[in-house]
Each structure stands twice: as structure tokens, then as C-alpha cells.
A = this chain, B = another copy of it.
Amino acid sequence: MIPDALSQGQYDTVYNFLSLVIASQLFTALFLLISLPRLLPRYRNAITVAIIVCGIAAYHYFRIFDSFKAAFVTKSVGGTGTYVQAVGASFNEGYRYVDWFLTVPLLLVELVAVLALTRKLQRSLLIRLVPAAALMIALGYPGQISTDNGTRGLFGILSTIPFLYILFVLFTQLSKSLDKQPASVRKTLGNLRFLLLLSWGVYPIAYLLPLLNISGANAWVGEQVGYSIADIVAKAVYGLIIFSVARMKSHEDDAEFAAIEGSKEEARV
């Protein structure tokens, strides 16, 4: 629930974080788009998906930004700026769910695509991960919009089931595929799963805040900042790590490509 009033500092904090997310996603997408030819063709699909993910996130943050601006009106109280909830306006938290519904399955597609597995292996991983990710988000939504703690708790538990299944697949099935990756990227890819676990862990925490009776303006601002940082890490930072994996693999796969793309010192070796 959005608070009735925000101080100037609280308002600016949310404002700046939402803007930071837009800039991060937009310019990560642009960087990846320009850098696409610097990868071997077999890794370009993973990065194309990363560009799309950041693009979708930027789009939804533009909407969230507008919704936030419309939800509060300025009101000068005793010389200092204060923002109060606009009459009849509400902050549309649903945009986040639409965003996640599209991007979270794609984040898993990115990860599988950069492995450049055989078509059969890739399909077997995606057929488990993608529907589970979509289900996870879809089941969270009824809880998010509910004002009833029982409903929120119930859907929280339901959406945890596909989340645990995704973790199971990532840490068991995917591990077998990681063994076939070049040594240089194996560790990065292994760690990427923890980045995913860590950043995805922020969402249920924010989700559970009302259940813990934590509310008020500060809690709400904290929630928005938390979601913003999590979205930057889970999409933009994650995409850049996938890109660096794709670069390393491109160089490993093709020495001639590495000589052209790498530094002169390295090319001479």
C-alpha cells in the first residue's frame, strides 16, 4: 500500500532510484546492441535476449515512473516540501508483475542460450525452466494485490513451489552442462546462479513486508529502492556478466577472432 504522505527527501529518493533503473536498463541494452558484432554468431542469441530483457524493463520503469508521479501531489507544509497522495490516484504495482512475467522466463533463456548446448539439451532445460518461471510470477500476483494477509501468505507459498523447482533445476540439471563449459567461464557461470538467487531473494522479502506488519512511508520507500536495486542487478548486471561469458567463449572457440578482437599483446602470443 502506498503511504498517505512522503517528505521531499523520501519522494526524491524514490524518484531518483526509478530514474536510475531506467538509465541502467536503457544504456545496458544500448551497450549490448552496439557490442553484438563483437561475439561469435552462436552467442548472439543470448545477448539479443539480454537486450530485450533490459528494454522491457526500461519500458515498464517509464510506466512505473509516470504512475509514481501521478500518485503524489506536492503540498508545501511549513516551508518544506511534502508530497501527499493524490485524490483517487494509486501507484500501479501491477506494472512490476507484467514486467517480471515477461522478463524472468527470458533471464533463464539467456543463461541457457549462452551455454550453447545441443538443441536437445537446450530444449530439455527450457521446457522445465520457462513455464516454472512464468508460473512463479503469475502465482505471486494475486497475493500482491490482495489486502488480506491470509491470501497474501497462501499465494506466497504457492509461488515458492516453482521457485524451488527452478533452483533445483539450476543446481542439479544445469551443473552437468556446466562441466562441459570451458574452464575460464565455468566459475563465472556457477556464480551467476548465486547472483540470480541473491537478487531474486529481494522480491519475496518486499512481498512479505506487509505480513510482518512493516508499513508506513519509510517501509514503502525501502521497498521501492529494494525492487529497483534488485531489478538492476538481476537484469542489467546479469546481462553484462552473460555478455562477458559470451566474449570469453567467443575467444576460446576461435583463435583468429580472438586475435582481431583482443589486445595486440595477446594477438602476438
Binding site for B on A (CB under 8 A): 8-9, 12, 15-16, 19-20, 22-24, 26-27, 30-31, 33-36, 38, 40-42, 44-45, 48-49, 51-52, 55-56, 59-60, 63, 74-76, 81-82, 87-90, 92, 94-95, 97-99, 101-102, 116-119, 122, 145, 253, 260-267
Contact = CB atoms under 8 A, between A and B. Distances in A.
A27 B41 contact: no
Nearest to A260: B41
Contacts of A122: 263
A12 B117 contact: no
A23 B102 contact: yes
Contacts of A34: 33, 36, 48, 51
A30 B16 contact: no
A259 B49 CA distance: 21
B35 A265 contact: no
Nearest to A118: B265
- 4 pairs of A and B residues whose beta carbons are closest in the complex: A74-B88, A76-B88, A116-B263, A16-B94
Given A26-B59, A52-B31, A88 B75 contact: yes
29 contacts: A12-B94, A15-B92, A16-B92, A16-B95, A19-B60, A19-B95, A20-B98, A20-B102, A23-B60, A23-B99, A27-B56, A30-B51, A30-B55, A31-B49, A34-B36, A34-B48, A34-B51, A35-B44, A38-B41, A74-B88, A76-B88, A81-B89, A117-B263, A117-B265, A118-B266, A119-B262, A119-B263, A119-B266, A122-B263
Given A38-B45, A90-B8, A23 B262 contact: no
A205 to B, nearest CB: 23
Most chain-B CB neighbours within 10 Å: which of A60, A116, A264?
A264
Nearest to A8: B90
B95 A41 contact: no
Given A51-B34, A98-B16, A81 B74 contact: no
A2 to B, nearest CB: 11
